[in-house]
Amino acid sequence: MAEPTDMDALTPYARSLGIRLERREDDGTPVMRVEFDETVEGRPGHYHGGATGGLLETAGYALLRTELERRDRSALLKPINITVQYLAAGKSQATYAKARITKLGRRSANLTVDAWQDDPQRPIATAVMNVLMAEPQG
Amino acid sequence: MRNDSALLGSAMTGKTRKFDPAEATKFFTARGHSGWLGLTYSDHGDDWVELELPWREDLLGEEGQRVLASGPILSLMDMASGMAIWRTMDEFSAIATLDLRVDYVRPAREGASVFGRSQCYRLTRSAAFVRGLAHDGDAEDPVAHIQAVFMKIAPQGPVVPNG
């Protein structure tokens, strides 16, 4: 069984931002992590909303790739849209994110993603995203 | 509730604006996430600001495709929206993104800068409403549309204990 590696799950953008795979849950769901440093800082001592959004999107893509691989499906993932809700300020510490697939169709997937710092039950941001799964180019 | 934006607008009629988006961009992009992205000032109006995100190889999305990731567009629009709000308020005050929606209508062209233009169309005592678009050279052919709401972090009024 091909277990996706840390790097397979990440885009060049995500690697550049410092996002990495923290762990996988028992069902294979990837938990992504980013450290607090200058590349994610907005207001001094706090996460930039864009960086938090990037982490949420990355967790969504990582889970979708994992699920497609498990089903032996290959597809080019293209963003359709994302709506991010910012619930609390991201403080100067590591942030985690993991996604849940709400619907996996043939052409598009709908995912919900949570980001948290201390307690997964108290997210600092959530997102809903739709992703297009296009035919791989030959 | 009074219309704060109307009050602000009339109070500023005929006065020189204090908040200069070009100068402010230099300050905000000197460090942090915006600095890492390399955002620069592009253009502005009374209630809108446009920033530029130069093309960068290490901001690509899906492996094997020469397409900018969606994350940097989200950051660009978040920043352009903040600047549009400060421009409209004509001052800098702490704000936080409450809700941000991005529709990615087409991929950005390889090698092209992406421009993020956001307009603050409504300002209240505690919230700011913005809408905008991202384009790669032609604003008539956007790559993304956005809508967002920001909250003022320290609104005028009673001070919250331990706030």
Q: Helix, strand, or coil here: B8?
A: helix
Q: Which of B59, B94, B104 sits opposite A81 (nearest CB)?
A: B104
- Kindly report the nearest CA distance between residue B84 and chain A, in angstroms: 16
Structure tokens at A19: 């996002």
Q: What confidence score (pLDDT) does residue A136 get?
A: 80
Q: Which residues of B touch A11 (CB under 8 A)?
A: 60-63, 69
**Chains A & B: contacts with CB separation below 8 Å:** 118
The yes-or-no verdict on residue B47 having pLDDT over 50 is yes
pLDDT tens digit sequence for B9-36: 444 444 577 899 999 999 888 899 999 9
Q: Could you tell me if B75 lies within 8 Å of chain A, comparing CB atoms?
A: yes
The yes-or-no verdict on residue A4 having pLDDT over 60 is no
Q: What is the residue extent of each domain of chain A?
A: 7-134
Q: A48 and B100 in contact by Cβ < 8 A?
A: no
Q: Could you tell me if B58 lies within 8 Å of chain A, comparing CB atoms?
A: yes
pLDDT tens digit sequence for A38-48: 999 998 999 99
Q: For the domain B4-11+18-152, what is the CATH code?
A: 3.10.129.10
Average pLDDT, chain B: 86
User: Exposed (0-12), middle (13-18) or buried (19+): which is B100, by Cβ within 10 Å?
Assistant: buried
> A99 vs A69, A102, A125, B140, B154, CA distance in Å?
16, 9, 12, 34, 32
Mutate to test the interface with A, among B78, B81, B92, B147 (most CBs of A within 10 A): B78
- Kindly report the nearest CA distance between residue A79 and chain B, in angstroms: 6
pLDDT tens digit sequence for B74-119: 999 999 999 999 999 999 998 999 999 999 999 999 999 999 999 9
Q: Could you tell me if A30 lies within 8 Å of chain B, comparing CB atoms?
A: no
pLDDT tens digit sequence for A73-126: 999 999 999 999 999 999 999 999 999 999 999 999 999 999 999 999 999 999
| Percent of chain B's residues with pLDDT above 70 | 85
The yes-or-no verdict on residue B64 having pLDDT over 80 is no
Does the complex come out with an ipTM higher than 0.95?
A: no
Q: What confidence score (pLDDT) does residue B16 get?
A: 72
Quick one: which of B86, B100, B13 has its CA closest to A53?
B100
8 A C-beta contact, residue B74 and residue B140: no
- Least-confidence region, from B53-62, B91-100, B116-125: B53-62
Tell which CATH architecture fits domain A7-134.
Roll (3.10)
Mean pLDDT of B34-42: 95
| Percent of chain B's residues with pLDDT above 90 | 67
